[in-house]
Amino acid sequence: MVVRELTGGIYFGQPRGFGTNDKGEEIGFNTEIYSVSEIDRIARVAFEVARKRGGKLCSVDKANVLEASMLWRKRVTAIASEFPDVELSHMYVDNASMQLVRNPKQFDTIVTNNSYGDILSDEASMITGSIGMLPSASVGESGPGLFEPIHGSAPDIAGQDKANPRATILSAAMLLKYGLGTENAAKRIETAVTETLDNGFRTGDIYSPGTTLVGCKRMGEEVLKALDSQK
């Protein structure tokens, strides 16, 4: 699980823009900036998520060279005292990108800033074989979150019965687990999705010889069958 800060960092920091340096060359510039409140907020979310999972949280930064990351690491470490049941570790982003490929099972929950999370979450998605497998959520401190597949709308295959519906289905499970706190209901959906995979059903994005190629509609039906069989 990658917990990404979404409203701060270099994507929104000021100042930003274009200018000219002392040599007369055109330059572009952005600002990586985080406040204590922004870091504390996302850190607490990540610790709560880790608490519901395997109890391990890895904070990813670049604290060896960036002041914004130094503050990030300082604050995440401070917030850890509120969650003594969660094991906290730190990792530089370049190493984390390598470790995700080398040994993804070492991670349970990752928390990181906006730009690093943008990259690492896409990298992590391909470990599963396809971005069509992964749910996501955009949540705030209060009010409803937005739970949706990590991928876009894929207009190039619209209406062709080719899309992988699992990310959408698992987004509903994520809503139940993290948005509504109904973990048993979420587990039923997750189990049904896993069962369809175990039974060899595949949409085109994850198809391989020896498995059963089905479309979006059939895949949804198979998940429903697996869900109903749990009764």
3-state SS class at 137: strand
Catalytic one of 11, 52, 108, 162 = 11
Decide the pairing of beta strands 87-92 and 56-61. parallel
11 part of the active site:
yes
How far apart are the two ends of the chain, measured CA to CA in Å?
Answer: 29
Are the CB atoms for 109 and 117 separated by under 8 Å? no
Burial 118-131 (b: 16+ CB within 10 A, else e): bebbeebbeeeebb
Catalytic one of 74, 94, 161, 217 = 94
Catalytic one of 40, 108, 122, 205 = 122
Are the CB atoms for 230 and 187 separated by under 8 Å? no
23 part of the active site:
no
Of the candidates 55, 120, 64, the one whose C-alpha atom is nearest the C-alpha of residue 88 is: 55
Q: What's the rounded Cα separation, in Å, for the pair 47 and 154?
A: 33
34 part of the active site:
no
Catalytic one of 40, 108, 118, 205 = 118
228 part of the active site:
no
Q: Which two tokens stand for residue 106?
A: 């070492």
Of the candidates 137, 205, 210, the one whose C-alpha atom is nearest the C-alpha of residue 165 is: 205
94 part of the active site:
yes
**Cis peptide before 15, with omega less than 30 degrees from 0?**
yes
Catalytic one of 34, 61, 62, 178 = 62
Residue numbers annotated as active site: 11, 62, 94, 118, 122
